[in-house]
Structure 1
């Protein structure tokens, strides 16, 4: 039995599989259809999970604004906005960015060292400190803890390092990948899954659930195949 929230990675990428350019600039190449798709995934979730690098790049987070989606959340007894959870080992974030002015519940998932900077501050409603023996974030235990807080569905919005770490621990259930009609290139440009990579025999396997084409973009919906449940 799964004692953690259902997790769905949602990312847009270029046709050559890059989620940003070599400068790691904010990826704004998705269409309005892609943004609407992302907002639907956010609205369907109890919490949004993203790494510090993603937050530093954008300086903001995507909130639910469409009236119908807001109404659906209200009818389901949910808060207007899901919780927005930043994952960072160091805790080093600029408190002046727009994210800290947005009307959302901000949670911080970090280490003991990362929490020090935010002691006595009010920017985060909750600070969750869970670390391994190597003083890294214990993401697996963190997801179990989020279940105890009533979080049943999570949208993972990047970046590639966070997604890689969760895939390595078998903590991802689904992926939505939007393929956008441009080529970014660059050996150092980030991809949906960074990290050290997987050898073919150990690579996570996917089951294609759905393909949608909207104008020039392709929306791919996958489920992670489980060898052992």
Structure 2
């Protein structure tokens, strides 16, 4: 599967503030860029922490992009994927509405009742892994469902996991001209961190967008 990670961070590398509240790091031009990227992908993935904190919709904002997808024989919006080992996705979360298909990636330890509730709410639940989501196995199963390209938008715990498993092909980072600070504020990649075998990046392009800069990388194998 072709996997692109895209995120917006402050100059000091933060995704949001210490209370994990959304911060407007980028502006309308970058929002349009992200909408275009979403439209080109089969699926958009986030971690359950992002769902709980931000309640994202993960659909396309531009009706013209939805129409282009329909003309290509695709659904108007990409499939939504949530990495959620324990089934914590709220049943009223916007990712569970009917504007697009939704897959919940979870683990064997999920409460069976909760699994049924998520399915009743409209999600397709994929169980992969014992105590936490086995991302490589889950990605393989998503491919079996016809998903060939995916955009991952965070948060930091999920991004650590996909980098640690070597699943990422490309990384796009928009750096907004602001400083957030806070030792507890989430960064682009959180999780356990790397002591060695650091993911190696190759810088491809640098583009100024509004008052920020977009860095585009490929991952070295």
Which TM-score applies when normalising by structure 2?
0.93
**Contact persistence 1:110–1:129 (CA under 8 A):** yes
Alpha-carbon offset, residue 102 of structure 1: 5.4
For the pair 1:157 / 2:153, whether they are aligned, the reply is yes
Q: CA distance change for structure 1 residues 37 and 6 in 2, over 3 Å: closer, same or farther?
A: same
Q: CA distance change for structure 1 residues 113 and 65 in 2, over 3 Å: closer, same or farther?
A: same
Report the counterpart of residue 110 of structure 1 in structure 2: 106
Report the counterpart of residue 128 of structure 1 in structure 2: 126
Matches for 1:88-99 after TM superposition, within 5 Å: 88-99=84-95
Q: Which runs of 5+ in 2 are unaligned?
A: none
Report the counterpart of residue 71 of structure 1 in structure 2: 67
After superposing the two structures, state which structure 1 stretch, 94-103 or 144-153, moved more.
94-103
Q: Distance in 2 between matches of 1:131 and 1:148?
A: 17
For the pair 1:195 / 2:191, whether they are aligned, the reply is yes
For the pair 1:38 / 2:27, whether they are aligned, the reply is no
Alpha-carbon offset, residue 224 of structure 1: 0.3
Q: Distance in 2 between matches of 1:124 and 1:105?
A: 8
Q: Distance in 1 between matches of 2:23 and 2:109?
A: 30
| Equivalent residue for 1:146, pick from 136, 142, 149 | 142
Report the counterpart of residue 56 of structure 2 in structure 1: 60
Report the counterpart of residue 178 of structure 2 in structure 1: 182
Note the alpha carbon deviations across 1:139-188, whole angstroms, 9 max, x for none: 00111111111111000010111110111110111111000111001111
Note the alpha carbon deviations across 1:33-78, whole angstroms, 9 max, x for none: 1211111111111011110001111112231131331232123221
Matched pairs, number: 219
Note the alpha carbon deviations across 1:64-117, whole angstroms, 9 max, x for none: 131331232123221111110111111112213333335121111101333521
Which TM-score applies when normalising by structure 1?
0.90
For the pair 1:18 / 2:22, whether they are aligned, the reply is no
Q: Which runs of 5+ in 1 are unaligned?
A: none
Report the counterpart of residue 202 of structure 2 in structure 1: 207
SS of corresponding position for 1:16: coil
**Contact persistence 2:27–2:210 (CA under 8 A):** no
Q: Distance in 1 between matches of 2:187 and 2:94?
A: 25
**Contact persistence 1:54–1:159 (CA under 8 A):** yes
After superposing the two structures, state which structure 1 stretch, 67-76 or 209-218, moved more.
67-76
